Structure 1
Amino acid sequence: MLINSFLIYLQHEKRYSPHTVKSYQTDLLQFETFLHNDFEIIPVNAKATHIRSFIVSLMDLNISENAIGRKISTLRSFYKYLLRENELKVNPMTLIKAPKVPKRLPVFIEETKMDFLLDGEIEGKRVFDETFPSQRDKVVLELLFGTGIRLAELLLLKESDINFYEGTIKVLGKRNKERIIPLHGQLIDQLKTYIDLKLNQNFHNKITTLIVTNTGASSYPKLIYRIVKSYLTLISTQDKRSPHVLRHSFASSLLNKGADLNAIKDLLGHASLAATQVYTHNSVERLKSIYKQAHPKA
């Protein structure tokens, strides 16, 4: 019951996305099941020792440090909520320390490789033809790399969100916060081509969602993942080939060209500058590499 009320609080008061709320639910139900099976207690009665036992059980299952850290963060939010609602007097999470997670630099695709994919030829053939599915795939890649939007934001885009006169697109981000992102000329032309093709498909259902399937239905996460992975395979051998990699690529490209960090923060829709600063590490590593290659005393 308390878990349900917490999830409703996240959805309606904190305005978290359905995906985020689902993640919280999964973590809390796993915790609740563990407490019931091992100690026959409910979460509101859990002490710090019970929570530590839960964390140890996750480690025994070889759960990654990142995933464990996320579950601990979920429990912190949950018990803070219970304290606020006067369901408990002492927060057991004050005695819990999260395991240290090694910092990982964001994975990105080099700008030259993306230009080659979107505008060049591979093995003497252009990657994209004039058919609707091919032009749809190109728009997906162009939007992710050209605006840095998240997967969830891409799926929510409507044709009416594009302002061709101003050359901008309106994006609904986390916690229902809207932001305006400029579009470069090539992306504007690509969007116009795609929308014209979409209108000529004679789909039975006139979906207002910008990105649609081959049959005209609203797009879905698995389709976007499949599109991105299949095309990035042509230019990259790295393990990560996801929509988020293109978001990282967008930010890294801007930073390498001298863009202001605060401007990148606003374009990405980050709540704080700390989330954006991770990209400066990539930039520093790139400078180190250039220095080692070019300086006579390096």
Structure 2
Amino acid sequence: MGTDDDARPLAEGLEGPLRDFIRHIGLGRGRSEHTLRAYESDLRSLLATAAADGASTLTEIDLATLRRWLGRQSEAGLARSTVARRAASVRSFTAWARREGLLEVDPALRLLAPKRERHLPEVLHRGQVERLVDSLQAEATGASGEDAIPARDLAVIELLYASGTRVGELVGLDVDDVDFDRRMLRVLGKGSKERAVPFGVPAEKALRRWLAVRGRLATPGSGPALFLGRRGGRLGQRQAREIVDRALRGLGDTSASGPHALRHTAATHLLDGGADLRSVQEILGHASLATTQLYTHVSVERLRSSYQASHPRA
């Protein structure tokens, strides 16, 4: 949530360090464009607040400035998770500035921010997944000979659920990233880290079905993209979300939405089925095991719900 102050030009003593920091995390850490935009938005908000208070260099930003800025974020009605993320952006920035000698003391060391709210993700039950896929298979089977879209949508859903990949990873796949012999994907994840992710027989069948008709959407400019949009370009994240949202709405008995719901579902079902936490971490591409551990709580909640619904003395 921006303010009029956020749009004002910054003095070079503030703009320069911001520009250098964004370049640092973009080149040195391989962050995505989406992440870079989020960092820049967060930090520009802080620096605009500092500039409005009269600061023209980083050395004029102290703990009181940070606290005033953080207070304004909370007063603006932002979610605790958003405020916590913005505070984390500021900590990264001031720590970098301290290492670069732009600050003698890091003012964010004593900055307290609200803890992120940890919500259990919405997941589908196995029966819902089966109905979801059955519906898409029926659409693909009943499609006219020239319509490749239903086959594509089925493959998108099957692969998201089978592999637990992020939507950005899915749309970034090329045709040769699919190894049918081993049923593995070569996925480029966060931080440009590559990993191998398995997929199952149903996803293989859906992918082969899609690739058999991919040429109906392909154009000379399609390149190697695995999934294509209606005009032949690489399928975008927004289009992929629309595919998933439409399919999930069709179930009529879930509030789950978006591709991440299928990622949550895949992780939970893997753990329900006995997969070890480290393997699930590797499949999902989580840098920290603590992130993967969230799904163990989901599984426990599902187990408790099943027990309470089924046991006569629950």
Range of TM-score over shorter length: over 0.9
Deviations 1:170-221 (A, max 9, x none): 0001111111111211211211111120124452424211111111111212
**Match 1:205 to one of 221, 224, 232:** 221
Alignment of 1:44-123 (within 5 A): 44-120=59-135
Q: How far 1:103 sits from its partner (Å)?
A: 2.2
**Match 2:242 to one of 226, 239, 244:** 226
Change (3 A) 1:238 1:41: farther
Judge conservation of contact 1:207–1:216 (CA < 8 Å) in 2.
Answer: no
Change (3 A) 1:3 1:193: same
| Corresponding residue of 1:277 | 293
SS in structure 2 opposite 1:233?
helix
Compare 101-110 and 38-47 and name the one that shifted more: 38-47
Structure 1: stretches of 5+ with no match in the other structure:
none
Distance 2:213 2:107 in 1: 57
Compare 32-41 and 42-51 and name the one that shifted more: 32-41
| Corresponding residue of 2:6 | none
Q: Which has the higher contact order (CA 8 A, sep 6+)?
A: 1
Percent same amino acid at aligned positions? 29
Indicate the RMSD between aligned Cα atoms, in angstroms. Answer: 1.8
Compare 195-204 and 108-117 and name the one that shifted more: 195-204
Deviations 1:88-110 (A, max 9, x none): 11111111111133321112122
Deviations 1:118-166 (A, max 9, x none): 1258xxx934344311111111111111100011111210001011112
SS in structure 1 opposite 2:185?
strand
Change (3 A) 1:104 1:201: closer
Distance 1:86 1:60 in 2: 33
The alignment of Structure 1 onto Structure 2 pairs a total of residues equal to 295
Q: How far 1:241 sits from its partner (Å)?
A: 0.5
Distance 2:218 2:274 in 1: 45
**Match 1:143 to one of 141, 144, 159:** 159
Distance 2:106 2:282 in 1: 35
**Match 2:138 to one of 119, 126, 131:** 126
1:255 matched to 2:267: no
Deviations 1:248-295 (A, max 9, x none): 011011111111111100000011211100001111111211222333
What residue identity is the alignment partner of 2:123?
Answer: F
Structure 2: stretches of 5+ with no match in the other structure:
1-15
Judge conservation of contact 1:108–1:245 (CA < 8 Å) in 2.
Answer: yes
TM-score of the two chains, using structure 2 as the length reference: 0.89
Deviations 1:62-90 (A, max 9, x none): 01101000000000100110011011111
| Corresponding residue of 1:217 | 233
What residue identity is the alignment partner of 1:163?
Answer: D
